[in-house]
Amino acid sequence: MDVAVLERSLGYAFRDSELLKTALTHRSHGANHNERLEFLGDGVLNCVVAAALFQRFQSLPEGDLSRLRANLVRQDTLHQLALSLNLGDFLLLGEGEMKSGGHARPSILADALEALFGAIYLEAGFEAAAQVIQQLLASHLSAIVPGQSMKDPKTRLQEWLQGQRKPLPQYQLLDTLGAAHAQKFHVRCVVESLKFSTEGIGSSRRIAEQDAAQKALEALTP
Amino acid sequence: MDVAVLERSLGYAFRDSELLKTALTHRSHGANHNERLEFLGDGVLNCVVAAALFQRFQSLPEGDLSRLRANLVRQDTLHQLALSLNLGDFLLLGEGEMKSGGHARPSILADALEALFGAIYLEAGFEAAAQVIQQLLASHLSAIVPGQSMKDPKTRLQEWLQGQRKPLPQYQLLDTLGAAHAQKFHVRCVVESLKFSTEGIGSSRRIAEQDAAQKALEALTP
């Protein structure tokens, strides 16, 4: 795959192509792998997210900010962002890992994304990395409604429908992709009463349902 | 106390004195307290330390970097840095907290130090905060010897003395200061065979002994 495609989705073009290659290299592929960059990127990500939440929610207490941050930096979220970048197509994996579906494994994808953040920090500094991270997380950040945000999307969708005196949404499993330990679940969320449905994807059925519910909330609520 | 003294020790002068005041205010003192800044500062600290370790130890694997970081950002370390700044003298505490020795409580001191880091980030950006943090941690960072650094100072001192075929060091409790829940322990580390001793201080006897052992190592080993 042409890394220029990845760079366009990231909104950042690497000057040092070796550094980019290291960020995309899983330890199964060779000695020059991305684990150190992942360590660095994890620190950068946590700091950027903390600062973004601090600035955005001026009246939220520390405990709520911590919970929101935990949600934004956990593997599920990073995995979804990695999928949106088609990051799996660009990974360098060892043969065994490749055969067993490592390209789709949530932990490998999440780690590689953090490694990319670390590499950008290293090459262009904190502000450049912050810009990339904030842009990737923009829809997650703007979906947060303080107070409400502590509840997951399925709960919020259910409560919103109850407020409209509508029946509860239905979730259907559409299909399951990938090998056993790196499955992707594809579900549909159906709001029968509004003749409306959305689809979601994720590394577990629950996560895929939350994804579909989030999309329904974004489309249905103001 | 004159905050200019604190600013000189930090190597940073605040433009916004209200922001500095907020960073120094414990929640027992009023609504405008430092907990949100502490959340922010914790993220900044973790990132700065990750980056410093990444750059300094180019060949250490991720697991070792993580362990070193955990050591540098834990409460014990921050408490010691806060003591070196006499941070307790500048804290704004509620009456009850003041009477019960809150100025010396390790958690309150560590949190206020993180809040200061957050405030500097907010006012002057990442690089300014990084400079202050790196300077405060400079001696801790330069004391790290990869491989060896994973062992605590008491273990390293013992191993070094064994290598010299000398008897083990003795640790003596000199005194205990402060109220029950905010005690400071003061110990001496005696290396009889070399007619050498150092003193250490800390929020537990163990920490004070590690502090004294670290000083002995610095003085005795090349």
Give the residue numbers spanning the domain of A134.
3-142
Q: Are residue A21 and residue A121 in the same domain, yes or no?
A: yes
B117 vs B185, higher pLDDT: B117
Q: Are residue A43 and residue A73 in the same domain, yes or no?
A: yes
Max Cα-Cα span within chain A? 59
Please check the confidence at residue B89 and state whether its pLDDT lies above 60. yes
The model's pLDDT over B14-29, given as tens digits with 9 standing for 90+, comes to 999 999 999 999 999 9
Tell me the nearest-neighbour CA distance from B9 into chain A, angstroms. Answer: 25
Average pLDDT rounded to a whole number, residues A82-104: 93
For residue B157, is it within any domain? yes
Please check the confidence at residue A88 and state whether its pLDDT lies above 90. yes
Average pLDDT rounded to a whole number, residues B172-195: 87
The number of beta carbons lying within 10 Å of the beta carbon of residue B20 is 23
CA-CA distances (angstroms) from residue B195 to A115, B109, B170?
Answer: 51, 35, 12
A105 token code pair: 């494994």
For residue A148, is it within any domain? no
For residue A147, is it within any domain? no
For residue A107, is it within any domain? yes
Please check the confidence at residue A103 and state whether its pLDDT lies above 60. yes
Choosing from A123, A142, A161, the residue where a domain stops is A142
Task: Find the helix or strand (DSSP H, E) in which B170 lies.
Answer: strand B170-177
Q: Are residue B20 and residue B59 in the same domain, yes or no?
A: yes
pLDDT value for B149:
55
The model's pLDDT over A125-161, given as tens digits with 9 standing for 90+, comes to 999 999 999 999 998 998 887 766 567 889 889 989 9
Q: Which of A40, A54, A127 sits opposite B40 (nearest CB)?
A: A54
For residue A211, is it within any domain? yes
Of A1, A15, A21, give the one whose Cα is nearest residue A116. Answer: A21
Choosing from B123, B142, B161, the residue where a domain stops is B142
Q: Are residue B174 and residue B216 in the same domain, yes or no?
A: yes
Into how many domains does chain B fold?
2
Share of chain B above pLDDT 70, in %: 97
For residue B160, is it within any domain? yes
pLDDT value for B147:
66
Query: Which string of DSSP letters, residue by residue, matches A160-191?
Result: HHHHTT-PPPEEEEEEEES-GGG-EEEEEEEE
The number of beta carbons lying within 10 Å of the beta carbon of residue A29 is 18
Tell me the nearest-neighbour CA distance from B140 into chain A, angstroms. Answer: 19
Average pLDDT rounded to a whole number, residues B164-188: 86
Q: Are residue A105 and residue A175 in the same domain, yes or no?
A: no
Nearest C-alpha in A relative to B36: A62
Average pLDDT rounded to a whole number, residues A193-207: 89
User: One of A97, A111, A114, A211 is an active-site residue; which one?
Assistant: A114
pLDDT value for A150:
63
For residue B147, is it within any domain? no
**Catalytic residue check, B114:** yes
- Check if the beta carbon of residue A77 is closer than 8 Å to that of residue A140: yes
Tell me the nearest-neighbour CA distance from A64 into chain B, angstroms. Answer: 10
* Cα gap A40→A108, rounded to integer Å: 16
pLDDT value for A222:
72
pLDDT value for A148:
61
A115 token code pair: 């490694």
Q: Are residue A107 and residue A197 in the same domain, yes or no?
A: no
For residue A16, is it within any domain? yes
Contact between B50 and A42 using a beta-carbon 8 Å cutoff: yes
Q: Are residue B184 and residue B138 in the same domain, yes or no?
A: no
A138 token code pair: 């923009």
pLDDT value for B43:
98
**Catalytic residue check, B97:** no
pLDDT value for A23:
98
* Cα gap A147→B199, rounded to integer Å: 50
User: Which CATH number characterizes residue A187's domain?
Assistant: 3.30.160.20
| Model confidence, pTM | 0.73
Average pLDDT rounded to a whole number, residues B61-84: 93
Max Cα-Cα span within chain B? 59
- Check if the beta carbon of residue A111 is closer than 8 Å to that of residue A190: no
Of B47, B180, B22, B94, give the one whose Cα is nearest residue A58. Answer: B22
Average pLDDT rounded to a whole number, residues B114-134: 98
Of A192, A24, A200, give the one whose Cα is nearest residue A111. Answer: A24
Q: Are residue A177 and residue A134 in the same domain, yes or no?
A: no
Q: Does A65 touch chain B (CB under 8 A)?
A: yes
The model's pLDDT over B133-161, given as tens digits with 9 standing for 90+, comes to 999 999 899 888 776 656 788 988 998 99
pLDDT value for B143:
83
pLDDT value for A182:
73
Q: Are residue A131 and residue A187 in the same domain, yes or no?
A: no
User: Which CATH number characterizes residue A78's domain?
Assistant: 1.10.1520.10
Please check the confidence at residue B125 and state whether its pLDDT lies above 60. yes
Helices (H), B58-105: 62-73, 75-84, 95-99
Average pLDDT rounded to a whole number, residues B42-57: 97
What average pLDDT is seen over chain B?
A: 92
* Cα gap A85→A90, rounded to integer Å: 10
Q: Are residue B71 and residue B136 in the same domain, yes or no?
A: yes
pLDDT value for B148:
61
CA-CA distances (angstroms) from residue B82 to B24, B55, B57?
Answer: 12, 25, 26
Q: Are residue A12 and residue A113 in the same domain, yes or no?
A: yes
Please check the confidence at residue B50 and state whether its pLDDT lies above 90. yes
Choosing from B108, B142, B176, the residue where a domain stops is B142
pLDDT value for B152:
81
Q: Are residue B197 and residue B123 in the same domain, yes or no?
A: no
Residue B101, helix vs strand vs coil: coil
The model's pLDDT over A155-188, given as tens digits with 9 standing for 90+, comes to 889 989 988 888 999 999 999 887 766 788 899 9
